[in-house]
Structure 1
Amino acid sequence: MAFDPAAALAKIKARDAHRRRRIVEGPQDVQVAVDGRSLVNFCSNDYLGLANHPAVREAFRRGVDRWGAGSGASHLVCGHAAAHHALEEELAEFTGRPRALLFSTGYMANLGVVSALAGRGDAVFEDRLNHASLLDGGLLSGARFQRYPHADARALEAALAESRAETRLVVTDGVFSMDGDLAPLPALARAARSGRAWLMVDDAHGLGVLGGEGRGTLEHFGLDETEVPVLVGTLGKALGTFGAFAAGSEDLIDYLIQRARTYVYTTALPPAVAEATRASLRLVREEPERRERLHRNVRRFRAGAESLGFELGDLIGPIQPIVIGANAEALEASRRLGERGFLVSAIRPPTVPEGTARLRITLSASHTDEQVDGLLEALAAAVPQEA
């Protein structure tokens, strides 16, 4: 029987799980034009407000003038420009690693790194709530794939003790994208070390945000390359541009150049994007007040939300989800916020587990006190709490 997309779509819609794209009619910012309306944006990953920063835009323009619009080929053919190489060196220095390697997207970075480091006969251990790209990387690697309960280092340690695989890879998010909590990296590092495993951390939502110098979750916990040999980061969140990278030892990066299929067999990022990212990386390093404003906004939002009766958990970063439960109720809450001028997405399965549909609220350094307070007022009306 042939696949029937109409029937499959009908089932998705019946579960209130159908998703549609919003049309954004201007640059990414805390105030955006969407479908003809001006809304205050509380669902972007542009945590430091760099996606539309004048210096980043100007670097992009200069990059196009010098390098053109596209790279023309993969990195290993003739697409690896001096701009790419300079960014890799700066990312390596920023993360405290000998080398870094650019990938075209975060999804491609995770697929490529995991599948290059583990294969048939090996074992991959992943947090149950890891990002889809990490889970897919483990599944596609051909290794024995095992999930451990969320943030449970003891369960991981027990699973590693039972493994007979020669090569073992532990994979986790640094900051979980839908829950906002931090992985217990010190405990995971100890478990990996005792279980003779490598630890890989995708710090997509920590880099630029956490740590005294914005170096991410590893800086927050005081961990180095010995404890976390494989680091992945994205450029399209706090850095405000596009793409991703892996960072590690000289040998690790050279091996990924040889064996990471999503690096070898795809066109390189436009060099102008690399130039824009170099500018945003300088801003991360030279303007720590951006992180300070972001965390001030997080504290302001959390204090107000908790006074309204919302349970947010112990979350220190810009991702502050409010779990609603049913898909239809989360959609309705998002719609009500939109009526009041606030853009907050309803996140539903399969992105999150069944029964945990939520409003994924994200804060930015660019939000004003008035915008944060306005969102709190709108939440009180759109998602009333029982007395």
Structure 2
Amino acid sequence: MSLRTAARLLSAPLRRVAQPRAAGASRAYAAAAQAALSVLESELDAIRTAGTWKGERVITSRQGPRISVDGSRGDILNFCANNYLGLSSHPEVVKAGIEALQKYGAGLSSVRFICGTQSIHKNLEEKLAQFHEREDCILYASCFDGCFGVLLGPDDAVLSDELNHASIFAAVFRLCRAKRFRYKHMDLNDLEEKLKESQSSRLRLVVTDGVFSMDGDVAPLQGICDLAEQYGALVFIDECHATGFLGPRGRGTDELLGVMDRVHIVNSTLGKALGGAAGGYTVGPKALIELLRQRSRPYLFSNSLPPPVVGCATRAVELLLASNEIAQSMAAKTMRFRNNMTQAGFTISGTAHPICPVMLGDARLASLMADDMLKLGVYVIGFSYPVVPKGKARIRVQISAAHTDEDIDRAVDAFIQTGRKHGVIS
């Protein structure tokens, strides 16, 4: 008797017993899976019915002011990327990424404290600290909850603007153990009331976006810093939509409003103006950054930033340290779009920021207009709930330093055609 035959005979009783149970389990599993699928399909149908379905267009070229989109003919003008300075495909930035890939490899296969720190990581951190004029810097694969859970405990308090970015909201209100307060959007009187309510706390941290990404409005940092100093609080700003182009030298909202020496902690990203790849960072007092290296879970348990990303971001920062010419080119282009759109009859939210939300209100209208804009060769996206509040759907336009005046005028003309078609303007 062969071993295979013996094994088959020995296992036969087990198979006879197991098969009915397996069949029953299989039917139960299939029923449970079908029930779950029905729930999912119902949720998806509700999204489609509400007009808030978020499709993904496929770009077949590099990121830039002009892109190729699958299914569209010719170059498409891109007006919805966070590529504020046009550095995502800047020749020097791309070259630096290629050189880093060749010299340092594709990735580290490790976290920073084990064997994932390279000289290029330290170099970029030094340059970012220099750029923001802070003592030290720490890089993250993602800054999500990088700071709050380490700095603040149950005896502390965090005071957050009610319209802060969703990642801040989640980090503060779901992952942080401190007492949590939400103050009305950019309302200094309400912030002061919350500061009074939290006076018994050990540490208090006021947290705000420097620029609010959906509306393009700028936080009142001077007033926030005044109140923080009056009540003994620290100030944290998220600068993802300001770093590189706001302020005379592009340092951000704190430079724009003259409070660089009064803001204690700055959080920002490499994934927007600084090359547009991925990753983020925190700059601030050296003691805080050292503590984050010891205890920040996203830092300790996430792989190091890939060398090509670091190489690209480093070159982007070097370009900004060497000249403020790119940053200064943004203001005139931003106001050209805003003024021309306002004169045409559109309502544009925010002031003087390259985030230019074209307010429409209705989610389905925003989606339909965005589709029609693409047919006219302009890539924009409709934003609706849950990205923005219900009833405040919009098309968020973002101006880049890489756009020409002709690009901006063409986008305005496309909006006018589409707006008239859908009755938004006369």
Moved more, 290-299 or 202-211: 290-299
C-alpha distance in structure 1 between counterparts of 2:137 and 2:146, whole Å = 14
Determine if contact 2:84/2:400 at 8 Å carries over to the other structure. yes
1:190-205 correspondence runs (5 A): 190-205=226-241
SS of alignment partner, residue 34 of structure 1? coil
Determine if contact 2:150/2:295 at 8 Å carries over to the other structure. yes
C-alpha distance in structure 2 between counterparts of 1:256 and 1:32, whole Å = 39
Determine if contact 1:294/1:366 at 8 Å carries over to the other structure. no
Determine if contact 2:161/2:182 at 8 Å carries over to the other structure. yes
1:141 to 159, 176, 193: 176
Are 1:185 and 2:221 an aligned pair? Answer: yes
Are 1:306 and 2:333 an aligned pair? Answer: no
* 1:270 counterpart residue number: 306
1:82 to 98, 119, 122: 119
Moved more, 227-236 or 61-70: 227-236
C-alpha distance in structure 2 between counterparts of 1:381 and 1:228, whole Å = 44
1:257 to 290, 293, 315: 293
Are 1:330 and 2:366 an aligned pair? Answer: yes
* 1:281 counterpart residue number: 317
C-alpha distance in structure 1 between counterparts of 2:371 and 2:349, whole Å = 24
SS of alignment partner, residue 68 of structure 2? strand
Deviations along 1:49-101, one digit per CA (max 9) or x if unpaired, are: 00001101110010011100002211111101100000000000110001000
1:321 to 357, 364, 370: 357
SS of alignment partner, residue 169 of structure 1? strand
C-alpha distance in structure 2 between counterparts of 1:191 and 1:11, whole Å = 44
- Structure 1-normalised TM-score? 0.95
* 1:13 counterpart residue number: 48
Deviations along 1:12-31, one digit per CA (max 9) or x if unpaired, are: 22222221222111100011
Determine if contact 2:349/2:359 at 8 Å carries over to the other structure. no
Are 1:130 and 2:164 an aligned pair? Answer: yes
Question: Which amino acid letter does the alignment assign opposite residue 47 of structure 1?
Answer: Y
Question: Which amino acid letter does the alignment assign opposite residue 156 of structure 2?
Answer: D
1:54 to 87, 91, 113: 91
Determine if contact 2:344/2:425 at 8 Å carries over to the other structure. no
SS of alignment partner, residue 47 of structure 1? coil
SS of alignment partner, residue 112 of structure 1? coil
Determine if contact 1:56/1:276 at 8 Å carries over to the other structure. yes
Deviations along 1:362-381, one digit per CA (max 9) or x if unpaired, are: 00111111111011111111
C-alpha distance in structure 2 between counterparts of 1:214 and 1:91, whole Å = 13
C-alpha distance in structure 2 between counterparts of 1:297 and 1:169, whole Å = 36
Deviation (angstroms), 1:287 = 3.8
Question: Which amino acid letter does the alignment assign opposite residue 19 of structure 1?
Answer: K
Deviation (angstroms), 1:303 = 1.8
Once superposed, which parts of structure 1, at least 4 consecutive aligned residues long, lie more than 4 Å away? none
C-alpha distance in structure 2 between counterparts of 1:214 and 1:268, whole Å = 27
Determine if contact 2:350/2:356 at 8 Å carries over to the other structure. no
Gaps of 5+ in 1: none
Moved more, 112-121 or 345-354: 112-121
* 2:4 counterpart residue number: none
SS of alignment partner, residue 111 of structure 1? coil
1:1-387 correspondence runs (5 A): 4-37=39-72, 38-105=75-142, 109-139=143-173, 140-163=175-198, 164-225=200-261, 227-240=262-275, 241-313=277-349, 315-384=351-420, 385-386=424-425
C-alpha distance in structure 2 between counterparts of 1:170 and 1:289, whole Å = 32
SS of alignment partner, residue 383 of structure 1? helix
Determine if contact 2:347/2:358 at 8 Å carries over to the other structure. yes
Determine if contact 1:179/1:319 at 8 Å carries over to the other structure. yes
Aligned Cα root-mean-square deviation (Å) = 1.5
Q: Taking every aligned residue pair, what percent have the same amino acid on both sides?
A: 36
Q: 1:313 to 1:5 in 2, by over 3 A?
A: closer
Deviations along 1:179-229, one digit per CA (max 9) or x if unpaired, are: 00100011111222223222110011111111111111111111134x211
Deviations along 1:276-298, one digit per CA (max 9) or x if unpaired, are: 11111122233422223222211
Q: 1:386 to 1:69 in 2, by over 3 A?
A: closer
C-alpha distance in structure 2 between counterparts of 1:246 and 1:36, whole Å = 40
Determine if contact 1:330/1:358 at 8 Å carries over to the other structure. yes
Q: 1:197 to 1:110 in 2, by over 3 A?
A: farther
- Structure 2-normalised TM-score? 0.87
Determine if contact 1:48/1:290 at 8 Å carries over to the other structure. yes
Deviation (angstroms), 1:313 = 4.6
Gaps of 5+ in 2: 1-31
C-alpha distance in structure 2 between counterparts of 1:165 and 1:27, whole Å = 49
Question: Which amino acid letter does the alignment assign opposite residue 63 of structure 1?
Answer: A
SS of alignment partner, residue 274 of structure 1? helix
Deviations along 1:116-164, one digit per CA (max 9) or x if unpaired, are: 2223343221111111110011011132322211111111111110123
Question: Which amino acid letter does the alignment assign opposite residue 21 of structure 1?
Answer: E
SS of alignment partner, residue 161 of structure 1? helix
Determine if contact 1:129/1:150 at 8 Å carries over to the other structure. yes
C-alpha distance in structure 2 between counterparts of 1:254 and 1:289, whole Å = 34
SS of alignment partner, residue 147 of structure 2? helix
SS of alignment partner, residue 159 of structure 2? strand
Determine if contact 2:349/2:357 at 8 Å carries over to the other structure. no
Deviations along 1:1-55, one digit per CA (max 9) or x if unpaired, are: 9753222222222222221222111100011111232310000000110000110
Determine if contact 1:110/1:232 at 8 Å carries over to the other structure. no
SS of alignment partner, residue 269 of structure 1? coil
Question: Which amino acid letter does the alignment assign opposite residue 285 of structure 2?
Answer: S
C-alpha distance in structure 2 between counterparts of 1:15 and 1:288, whole Å = 45
Structure showing greater radius of gyration is: 2
C-alpha distance in structure 1 between counterparts of 2:349 and 2:68, whole Å = 32
